[in-house]
């Protein structure tokens, strides 16, 4: 099995050096810093709101129903958050495992996905993430999410258009929004949050807000979930 894709030097202890070197190629470091500041402001606001609602995970990661892509109830006692890249083969291999975990845990879990496109090694990853967001605008994020992983060996615009057609979406609208990069800020926001949480590889999972560094296999993940759910949210 392939190991996770790792960005050298992105250790997560200090986000700015990572952003200086590895941020999206058309965004300069000062703009990344500005985006990061806005992300911090957003996260502080959501932290306050989530504490008031009791929706803050053990590790301090905040999931927002209006911002994050989630399956299940945010108030569920178990949260599994993935930072992923649609062109990452290890991420694709992890998707059946995620589905098995969801089936196993049922209503007890909430699964969330955040974008972490490794554009230096996966040139189509960011565009695919934008296609997922464009599909979300038409109400079909999770369906596009699955199709992108199934077709990750060829994520050019022709494939993105074919995926949109297969889901019955407005193809012209979706490709137009991808070309105009309508959702670039949304993806950058996820990316910067990931850097600040110490993400340096994909896939990267957090269980109840705490990073999971074990093998991406069903049984070890279920064991880790069982161990951490007792210390997670009640």
> Does 234 fall in a domain?
no
* pTM given for the model: 0.76
> Does 74 fall in a domain?
yes
Select the more confidently predicted residue: 169 or 49. 169
Confidence of residue 232 (pLDDT cuts 50, 70, 90): very low
CB atoms within 10 A of CB 33: 16
CATH number of domain containing 208:
3.40.30.10
pLDDT by residue (tens digit) across 122-179? Answer: 999 999 999 999 999 999 999 999 999 999 998 999 999 999 999 999 999 999 999 9
Regarding beta strands 78-84 and 204-207, do their DSSP bridges make them parallel or antiparallel, or are they unpaired?
Answer: antiparallel
pLDDT at 66: 77
Give the residues across from 117 on adjacent strands: none
- Which of 214, 210, 192 is closest to 12 using CA atoms? 192
Confidence of residue 20 (pLDDT cuts 50, 70, 90): very low
DSSP string, the chain: -PPPEE-TT--SS-HHHHHHHHS-TTS-HHHHHHHHHHHHHHHHHHHHHHHHHT-B-TTSPBP-TTTSEEES-TTSSEEEEEEE-TT-HHHHHHHHHHHHHHHHHGGGEEEEEEE---TTT-TTHHHHHHHHHHHHHTT-HHHHHHHHHHTTT--SHHHHHHHHHHTT--HHHHHHHHHTTTTHHHHHHHHHHHHHTT--EESEEEETTEEE-S-SSHHHHHHHHHHHHTTS--
Domain of residue 86: give its range. 14-229
Q: Range with the lowest mean pLDDT among 20-24, 81-85, 137-141, 202-206?
A: 20-24
Decide if pLDDT at 63 tops 90.
no
> Does 9 fall in a domain?
no
Distances (CA, A) of 8 to 46, 83, 141, 172: 31, 17, 30, 37
> Does 7 fall in a domain?
no
**Into how many domains does the chain fold?**
1
> Does 182 fall in a domain?
yes
Residue 47 Cα to chain centre, angstroms: 19
Let me know if 52 is exposed, middle or buried by CB neighbors in 10 A (0-12, 13-18, 19+): exposed
* CA 140/CA 13 separation, integer angstroms: 35
Q: Range with the lowest mean pLDDT among 25-29, 33-37, 71-75, 142-146?
A: 25-29
Residue given tokens 């992923």 in the structure block: 84
Decide if pLDDT at 29 tops 90.
no
CB atoms within 10 A of CB 12: 15
> Does 6 fall in a domain?
no
Decide if pLDDT at 46 tops 80.
no
> Does 220 fall in a domain?
yes
Confidence of residue 60 (pLDDT cuts 50, 70, 90): low
> Does 8 fall in a domain?
no
Query: Averaged over 21-46, what is the pLDDT?
Result: 45
pLDDT at 59: 53
């Amino acid at each position: 099995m392939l190991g996770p894709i790792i960005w050298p030097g992105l250790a997560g202890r200090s986000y700015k050096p990572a952003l200086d070197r590895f941020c999206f190629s058309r965004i300069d470091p000062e703009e990344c810093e500005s985006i990061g500041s806005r992300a911090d402001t957003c996260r502080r606001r959501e932290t306050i709101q989530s504490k008031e609602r009791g929706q803050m995970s053990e590790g301090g990661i905040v999931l927002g129903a209006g911002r994050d892509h989630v399956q299940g109830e945010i108030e569920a006692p178990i949260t599994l958050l993935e930072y992923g890249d649609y062109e990452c083969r290890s991420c694709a291999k992890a998707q059946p495992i995620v589905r098995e975990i969801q089936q196993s845990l049922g209503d007890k879990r909430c699964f969330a996905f955040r974008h972490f496109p490794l554009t230096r090694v996966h040139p189509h990853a960011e565009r695919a993430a934008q296609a997922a967001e464009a599909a979300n605008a038409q109400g079909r994020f999770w369906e596009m999410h699955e199709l992108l992983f199934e077709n990750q060996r060829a994520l050019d615009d022709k494939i993105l258009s074919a995926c949109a057609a297969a889901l019955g979406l407005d193809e012209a609208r979706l490709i137009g929004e991808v070309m105009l990069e309508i959702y670039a800020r949304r993806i950058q926001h996820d990316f910067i949050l990931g850097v600040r949480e110490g993400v340096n590889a994909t896939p990267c999972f957090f269980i109840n807000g705490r990073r999971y560094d074990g093998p991406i296999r069903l049984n070890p993940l279920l064991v880790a979930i069982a161990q951490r759910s007792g210390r997670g949210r009640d």
